Amino acid sequence: MTRVLIAVDGGGSKTDAVALSADGEVLARASGPSSSPQNLGLGAAVDVLDTVVREAISAAGSPPEHVACYLSGLDLPEEIDDFTAAISGLDWARNTARPPVVDNDLFALLRVGTGEPNAVAVVCGTGINAIGVREDGATVRFPALGSISGDWGGGGHLGQEALWHAARAEDGRGQETVLRTAVPEALGLPTVRAVTEALHFGRLPGAALASLPPVVFAAADAGDKTALALLDRQIEEIVVMAVTALRRLRLLQSPVPVVLGGGVIAAGNARLLSGIRSGLAEAAPLARPEVVMARPVVGASLLVLDQIGADAAAHERVLATLA
């Protein structure tokens, strides 16, 4: 019987699962909506994960020997413990040869970007977060709970900021900006006031604001001062998270990869990427920024192979299939 491994990446917008053999063959794939417990609540997040994992297991045709889940929204030790406990009674988690691994999805991003023992990763997708690891086992994490934990940026926050400036431009409290027309147009509504009311009455989900970063990028590329200020602030926050992780690990003066991923970064805006590289070059000149375009489930797949001691050929087979 084929040894089946399940690797899961659950982000702020979708959940991907891959069933692998121990030699790196991709046996099955499955996907579903977000499984972030911070967005959905613990029970609903477990339900999404369970559905996606069962689909992958069914397609693979054998129960898993090992499962590794890397999820957005598992930022605090208590959250990891609670999620681990919540899945422990599920048959696919209970009957594996080794306990399932549950951790933050940034580890999957980090692994797809580098296999080096000293490294930092910053994700700027729906939200923003960073981790750092050092070869002696030291790690750096951030709570990543939004403004209450000092965070700024990510798609949702950029969207909120764009709407805030657009609203003030429309009613006269703020400076004129092309966001005044671009924001409602992107959301399919005639005015900023209409967007505000749709959000207030629940006709438009708040998550829709996470779709607005491309609007901000386009406005910035056209020279809009408000959009340029938002873009520059996002650059600053990405750089400061990376530099802070490097400093806390005492790696500022070391040649360390800084893996960059998430939808906002992967959109490839030239000013954003150039600004991040310039900021890192100034504050951590030996750091090597590496933008990851591959899906983080590739990193989750590499990690699950790492955990069973798979050989290099297995890792290469996964990369050839999924990357």
- What residue spans define the domains of the chain? 4-104+295-322, 112-152+231-291
Burial state string for 30-61 with b = 16 or more CB within 10 A and e = fewer than 16 = bebebbbbbbbeeeebbebbbebbbbbbeebe
Q: How confident is the model at residue 1 (pLDDT cuts 50, 70, 90)?
A: low
Domains 4-104+295-322 and 112-152+231-291 share a fold: yes
Tens digit of each residue's pLDDT (9 = 90 or more) over 30-62: 999 999 998 899 999 999 999 999 999 999 999
Tens digit of each residue's pLDDT (9 = 90 or more) over 285-321: 999 999 999 889 999 999 999 999 999 999 999 999 9
Give the C-alpha separation, 248 to 144, whole Å: 17
Mean of the per-residue pLDDT values of the chain: 95
Could you tell me which CATH class the domain 4-104+295-322 is placed in? alpha beta
Q: Are 59 and 30 in contact (CB under 8 A)?
A: yes
Q: Is 289 helix (H, G, I), strand (E, B) or coil?
A: strand
Would you state the pLDDT for residue 3? Answer: 82
pTM for the structure as a whole: 0.91
CATH number of 112-152+231-291: 3.30.420.40
* Terminal CA-CA length for the chain: 27
Nearest one of 275, 272, 274, 280 to 255, comparing CA atoms: 280
